[in-house]
Amino acid sequence: MEPGENEVWTLAEQREGKLKPISYELLAWGRSLADKLNVPLASLVIGNGISQDALESLIHGGADRVYSIQHPLLTHFICESYARVLQHLIQEHHPAVLLGGATTTGRTLLPYVAIKVHTGLTADCTGLDIEPGTGNLLQTRPAIGGNILATIKTPNHRPQMATIRPRSKQPLCPDPSRAGVIESIIVQEEWLDNRVQFLGRDPLGEEGDGLEGSDIVVSGGKGLRKGENFSLIRGLAQELRAAVGASREAVDRGWISYPHQVGLSGKTIAPKLYIAIGISGSIQHLAGIKSSEQIAAVNLDPNAPIFQVADFGIVGDLFQVVPRIRDRIRKYRLEKQKEDPAYGCT
């Protein structure tokens, strides 16, 4: 078998030469699929200035092979050029599966590539498996507003392509003893689309970017009654050094911007602690937080679905409960600082 043929491929993502967490999450998905298919797992890195240590970290994270495609004109994500690179590699190596993140990059690039190589794509998957006997990729994603889960197959075309929601699987524990191959691909000039130039990045669109990487997330929902009351959520988040999230209901009402939305129609997150305040807990919202290590909830309704998944719950008026929680946190911090003046310093 030629290198690349029938392999499972995952698309690593980078910014300014630094690999993003989704790169390692995809390796965890890909490792399981490759083992079931009994084929190698490869990670593709497109960019510039990615260090040898970073490439080796993909081997340690589960890859058997890393394709490194680096060029100064690939420093920044430009869909047309990245797509030409992927199209060439797919046509040359014939992988069985190609996975990307359901991120801005993945959602832009992979549909474009799927059209170019005449195959299918299942977007925003929350589950992947291999069908026994056929080797087909079983691609599971929410459908009909998240009320059902659909399983999709691509039986007649290759590669089978899917984008996976970030934070839907924990990365594998790095294994420095793993051995693998790092193959540098020489970029051909015809792969680069000179019609498009990178001029800059607007940070406005990155609001809420810290949500997916935060250890603690405090979210507010319909129970806040109006947008001004999100100050309660922001205040508690500040005390806890946490990110601010929101339910779809709160976003739809214009109380907070979309980048803060948690759930199937927003961001899928897996913090160490998720605090849901005034959020009843729709199926879509619960699916977006199911990987959290601990879930705490404050809601006036004792039958709210959020309590079915919460590790800790308070049935009560959030306008009374949240200020008391903040007071307890402040008192605890002050007591700790009396014992150790350096407590809480960053």
Quick one: pLDDT at residue 4? 62
Quick one: pLDDT at residue 145? 61
Average pLDDT score over residue span 325-334: 88
As a whole-number percent, the residues of the chain with pLDDT over 90 amount to 65
Confidence of residue 179 (pLDDT cuts 50, 70, 90): very high
Domain spans, the chain: 8-201, 206-339
Higher pLDDT, 321 or 167: 321
The one-character DSSP state at 267 is B
Q: Are 244 and 218 in contact (CB under 8 A)?
A: yes
Report the CATH fold assignment for 8-201: Rossmann fold (3.40.50)
Quick one: pLDDT at residue 146? 60
Quick one: pLDDT at residue 256? 93
- pLDDT per residue as tens digits for the range 54-113: 999 999 999 999 999 999 999 999 899 999 999 999 999 999 999 999 888 999 999 999
CATH class assigned to 206-339: alpha beta
**Has residue 2 got a pLDDT over 80?**
no
Average pLDDT score over residue span 299-308: 95
Quick one: pLDDT at residue 100? 96
- pLDDT per residue as tens digits for the range 211-252: 777 889 999 999 999 999 999 999 999 888 899 999 999 999
Q: Are 208 and 257 in contact (CB under 8 A)?
A: yes
Quick one: pLDDT at residue 147? 67
Token pair of 345, please? 């310093």
Is the alpha carbon torsion for 146, 148, 149, 151 positive or negative?
negative
Residue of 74, 77, 141, 70 lying closest to 104 (CA atoms): 77
Residue of 52, 64, 50, 65 lying closest to 20 (CA atoms): 50
Q: Of 155-169, 188-202, 208-222, where does the model show the most confidence?
A: 155-169
For 94: left if phi > 0, alpha if psi spans -120 to 50, otherwise beta; the answer is left
Would you call 144 helix, strand, or coil by DSSP?
A: coil
Residue of 238, 260, 239 lying closest to 251 (CA atoms): 260
Is the full-model pTM beyond 0.85?
no
Quick one: pLDDT at residue 190? 85
Confidence of residue 148 (pLDDT cuts 50, 70, 90): confident
- pLDDT per residue as tens digits for the range 261-280: 998 778 888 888 999 999 99
Residue of 21, 6, 11 lying closest to 67 (CA atoms): 11
Confidence of residue 294 (pLDDT cuts 50, 70, 90): very high
Chain mean pLDDT for the chain:
89
